[in-house]
Amino acid sequence: MSERAKRQYRGYRMVQADLIKELAIAFAVVAGLVLLLAFLFSSPDQPTLTAQEVATNHPAELEATVIHILDGQNMIAAYGPPYNHGSGSLQRIGFISPQAWAGITLPLNAKSVFILTPLSRVAPLDPPLSSALSTFRAASAHQQAAWEHSYQVALDHATVVHGQVVLPASDSGPLPIMIGAYMNLARSGALEALINVNGRVYQTDFTRALLVLQGAPLTRVAAGQELLGPEWGQMKEPGNYPGAVWLWFYTLLYQLPPYVNSPVADLLAGATVGVVTLLFMFIPWIPGLRDIPRKVKVYRLIWRGHYAKRKK
């Protein structure tokens, strides 16, 4: 034992210790435990939700998504920073808005990236689509909006026959051809790839393809598994596996006022977690907090042998 250790432990009874053996035994115990758990329970692996699946099983939902991306009501289309100039998801408390300060760092024109560009990539294979796209692009914004509105009204009265959305007659200009082609694209399974095309063979960033199903389709699947935010979704795992229990405090905030249903919930929760984390980190120097252990006296149980000897 070093001189320093002798000073540190002066006055305390010393005993033999074998830390390496302890680590070896702990490793064997943990290895056995996780192997057993892995063997008994496996791990969750639910496949991703694809546009193909939505187009096949919930075609009206995907058509509604498309029309709202076109008319700008879609969540991503109206989002704001870091994607675009919208304000639908811009969080600001007074003058404080890190989101606005950071600005548009991942520019994304939803209408073009999600709908028009993928369609124009396949247009050369589909002459009617090609001319529909030209008509749509040549039309004024006012005309486009009128077509979109009329398509949306028709969609509200649509029926689904054999997995295809059947619309009542409407004055939607080129939209039925465009959206019909888009649905075919989705059903083929190629939509995400077309959205993600980056002009290079290699691809590791799926931001755009992930964002396209944001909203109704993904929320429907998540809701079916009670994974939504107000259901403690941030810390839950699909399929009843234990989730990220360590996020309980962050998740709890989203269940309580003023966080619950607040339009700036993320900013509020982020700020709260930041402050609480700092308090937690500096407990050793915060009077009151650092005295809690002395008051609850759990240490008396841990060191009961030491205190018992002291009494003698």
Partner 1 sequence: MFSLLTTHPFDIFDLTGSDLAIVLLMVIVFVLALVLPHPSHGHIGRKRS
Partner 2 sequence: MNWTTRVRQWLLREIPMEDLLPDELPAYVHSYVYYFGVLTLASFLMLVLSGIILVIFGPQWWHVSAVGLFVNSIHFWSVQAFFFFMVLHLWAQFFMSAWRGGRGLNWVTGVVLFLVSILTAFTGYLSQQNFDSQWIALQGKDAFNALGVSGFFNILNFGQVYGLHIVVLPLVLALLIGVHLYLVRSKGVVTPVLDSASTDREAHHDE
Instruction: Enumerate residues 204-263 that contact partner 1 by CB under 8 A.
Output: 226, 230-232, 235-237, 239-243, 245, 248
Do the beta carbons of residue 44 and residue 238 sit within 8 Å? yes
Q: Least Å distance between CB 53 and partner 1? A: 24
Burial profile 237-256: b = 16 or more Cβ within 10 angstroms, e = fewer: eeeeeebeeeeeebbebbee
Q: Return the number of other C-beta atoms located less than 10 Å from residue 201's C-beta.
A: 5
307 contact, one of partner 2, partner 1, none, CB 5-8 Å limit per kind: partner 2
**53-112: contacts with partner 2 (CB under 8 A):** 79, 81-82, 89, 91, 97-103, 105-106
Do the beta carbons of residue 238 and residue 227 sit within 8 Å? yes
- Cα–Cα distance, 116 to 70 (Å, whole number): 9
Binding mask 233-272 for partner 2 (x = CB under 8 A): xx--xx--xx-xxxx----------------x-xx-xx--
Q: How far is CA 156 from CA 60, 170, 194, 216, 305, in A?
A: 9, 12, 28, 15, 75
**108-147: contacts with partner 1 (CB under 8 A):** none
Binding mask 8-37 for partner 1 (x = CB under 8 A): -xxxxxxxx---------------------
197 contact, one of partner 1, partner 2, none, CB 5-8 Å limit per kind: none
199 binds partner 1 per the rule CB under 8 A: no
Structure tokens at 308: 């018992």
Binding mask 150-189 for partner 2 (x = CB under 8 A): ----------------------------------------
Per the listing, tokens 């247009």 go with 123
